[in-house]
Each structure stands twice: as C-alpha cells, then as structure tokens.
Amino acid sequence: MKLTKKEMAMLSGDEGPVIAEAMDYLVQFGEAFGAEKLVDISYCHYPAEMAIYEGNVEDAVAYSKKNVKVRVPTTNSTLSADLEKPGITGCPAPLVHLQSEIEKAHRNMGILETYTCTPQQLGFIPPFGSFNALVESSAIIYYNSVLGARTNRGGLFTRFSAVTGKYPYMGYLLDENRKGTHLFKVTAPEEMLKSQDGWSALGMHIGSIVGSGVPVIEGVKANKQEWLLSFGASLATSGSVTLFHIPGVTPEARTTEEAFGGQVPEKYYEVTEQDIKNIYQKQSNIPLGSPVDFVTLGCPHYNLEQIRYVADKLEGKKVGDSVRFWVCTNRMTRKQAEYSGYVETIEKAGAKVISDTCPVESHMRISTCRDFGLKVPNIEAMVCDSGKMIRYVGDLIGCKTALTSKDNCIQCALTGRWE
C-alpha cells in the first residue's frame, strides 16, 4: 500500500502509540483486500458499544482513557438501554448502569451522543462522492444509495477510522464496485408500495435474491424518505446489500443504463403482486385473532412526522392492558416530540416513546433475559411495520411475528389481538 509522508509518520508513531496502532490495523485491513492507498474520510458513524455484549463497554471505556480524539464528525448507533429514561423499557438496573458508562467514554473521545440508526435525520449529510466510515446496515445503504456518499460496512474498524480520519480505498469506495448487477422490474400494483411496510416487503424480497449484489429497481416511485429508509434496511437484512439504484431517484442512476455503467445485468427479475404477498405471509406467523403483547414502530428510528401521526391516531384512545407499545426514535426527535405534545398524547394512551435503543438491541434478547433471570421469550407475539425488525426478533427474542401496516399495528395495540 502506498502511504503519504504524513500517513507514514502516523504509522511510525509520531502521533503516539494509539494512532500508530490504529494505522497499523487499517493498513493491514486494506492490504488484505488489495487497497492501493488510504483516503481521507468526511464523517463516521460509530459502533454503539452495547452492554448486552460482554466486555464491549469495558473495552470502550479503557480505549477512551488513552487520550485519543476522533478527527471527523462522529455520531454513534443504538444502545441496549434508553439512557435518558431507563425505567420506561424495563431494562434491568445493572445493565442500565453498565450501559451508562459509555456516554462519558464517547464524550471523552469527541463522539457525539446520538445513539440512533438514522443519523441522516439529524443533519449528518456528507457530500456526494465523499468517503465515510459507517456502521449500522440501514444507515450504510441509505448513505450509499440515496445520498451518494461512499462507505463500506465499517464494523469494528470504524474506531480506527474515527481516530485517524483514514480508510482503505476499496470496496464501495471504488467506481467499479458501485455498478448495478441485477435488474428488477416491479409490476406489483402501485398501491402496494404506498406505505413503509410495502417498501419493507419489497426490500425483503429483492434482498433474498440478490445477496451481496447491487440491485437496480425499475417501476417504482419513491416519494418519501421513510420508504427508502425501510427499503434499504430490509435489503441489508434479507441479503447483505450495501448499495441499490432506483433510476431517477438515486444520484448515480439517472437512468438504468447509467446504473449499470454500460454493463449487461447479470440477471433480470420481475416482482409481482404475489411476490410481495408471499413476504407478508412468510413474515407473519401469528394466528388470526390471537393475542398480541408487543407492538413496535420505529425500525429504522421514526422521524417527527411519523411520531405525530401515531399521536393523532392514539389521541383519546387506550392501548390494551396486556400490550407493550414502543415507538422508537432518537433522543433529539423525542425532545421535539415532547415540546410539541406528541409524547404526552402517546403516553396517555399507554404507549411509550423510546430513544437510544430498540427491541432487538435491548434487554429482551434471549441471552440477556437468561443472564438476568427474565422471562424467555420476553415477548410472545410482536407486530410491526418493519421487515428488518421481524427478521431479527424471531432469532434474537424468539417470539411470533407479523408484518403489517402502521395503522394496523396501532389497531392491534388497541385491541391486543392480531387483526
């Protein structure tokens, strides 16, 4: 790998052993994948370092004491507890205490305490074509596909990029790896794709086919940010998709031809009405009319308008006595929702507006429940409007699930039954 004089100095220890170690990891990482050089990054979305993983918080705290600071604007992803209001999720006190230690560690390093899977909703929008280092699959695919900012799946190496401002020039940072590989023509009725759950179902279907490829999707109209968020999150969950193109929507794909960069698609697929219906059936295993004890909205985290919508639907109503209803968002959006009165309306109905976390990252995981002597599974039956959430909770929480619309989620919360 070719390094600049400054990079060589960093690697040699001129800026201390911590930076030298970080550079060494990045160089080894890049050389393993044939990267010819390092590049400067503009922004970093950092791992949350959650208390549900043994040693994760302790390692982060120890690293923060090495007198090292991040070099680019750095946000962070979701935690295992709502640190501002820990009591509302039922998280065990020892887990909350351990998780709370992460805030000071991140602050010491200059990391911004956002604790969300949707930093783009907080104004972190790096320039088109810029290089970045991100964790959180739903954020990564959105930044690549909708913003045209370039990033790979950063993983644990994000720490080393944050403190050096560097990343190997490889993967989806390269033009040749951003071209489309598979062409999908959506012929399902347009009405099926006028909701977050509809786009989530479409993403689950396409992701299961394309794997780690770059799908190009024709025949869809993406009119809302949350649809693209949900679509990308599901693509990255059912497959390992890191980039998609919708001609006329995504910045590198003004046309289908441009999306493929002059290449011929590897394969062509039609997406029919039945394909979408099959996803709903596959993701839903709660018998009709059966009790529902958990309803969640906000995967990826809801924005202010989505919270307002839920508040309007719940005003003057009451969630079923046996139902836990979470609306997940980031802490800044919750602050605004509190100011606007939406949180008060939602809480009067018996639901909760949760920040910093979500069900699959919380204490409700099977392994964590066993560690703390909690009921396993902690939930019997969950409904939500996110294919990503459903894909994970079945394995990590062990409950029955159903994918449905936002309105039907609210209705299920009120009745306590799957409708």
Q: Quick one: how far is CA 225 from the chain centroid?
A: 14
Give me the chain's average pLDDT, please: 97
Nearest in space to 92 (alpha carbons), one of 315, 364, 314, 357: 364
Nearest in space to 79 (alpha carbons), one of 115, 119, 113: 115
Give the pLDDT score at 5. 98
Q: Which amino acid is at 106?
A: H
Give the pLDDT score at 192. 96
Nearest in space to 207 (alpha carbons), one of 240, 178, 185, 172: 240
Give the pLDDT score at 152. 98
- 209 — pLDDT class (breaks 50, 70, 90): very high
pLDDT at residue 262 greater than cutoff 90 = no
Q: What is the pLDDT of residues 85-114, one digit of tens each?
A: 999 999 999 999 999 999 999 999 999 999
Give the pLDDT score at 248. 92
All structural domains of the chain, each given as residue ranges with its CATH number in brackets, are: 5-173 (3.30.499.10), 179-281 (no CATH), 285-415 (3.30.499.10)
Helix (H, G, I), strand (E, B) or coil at 90: coil
State the Cα–Cα distance between residues 152 and 140, nearest whole angstrom: 7
Q: What is the pLDDT of residues 389-406, one digit of tens each?
A: 999 998 999 999 999 999
Give me the percent of the chain exceeding a pLDDT of 70.
100
Mean pLDDT of 128-134: 98
State the Cα–Cα distance between residues 153 and 141, nearest whole angstrom: 9
CA angle at 198 for the pair 188 and 89, rounded to the nearest 5° = 170
pLDDT at residue 234 greater than cutoff 90 = yes
Q: What is the pLDDT of residues 15-25, one digit of tens each?
A: 999 999 999 99
- 57 — pLDDT class (breaks 50, 70, 90): very high
CA angle at 75 for the pair 23 and 88, rounded to the nearest 5° = 135
Q: Quick one: how far is CA 240 from the chain centroid?
A: 13
pLDDT at residue 266 greater than cutoff 90 = no
Mean pLDDT of 320-348: 98
Q: For strand 352-355 and strand 166-168, is the pairing parallel, antiparallel, or unpaired?
A: unpaired
Q: Which residues contact 168 (CB under 8 A, 6 or more apart)?
A: 1, 26, 27, 29, 30, 33, 35, 37, 38, 39
pLDDT at residue 223 greater than cutoff 90 = no
Residue count of the chain = 419
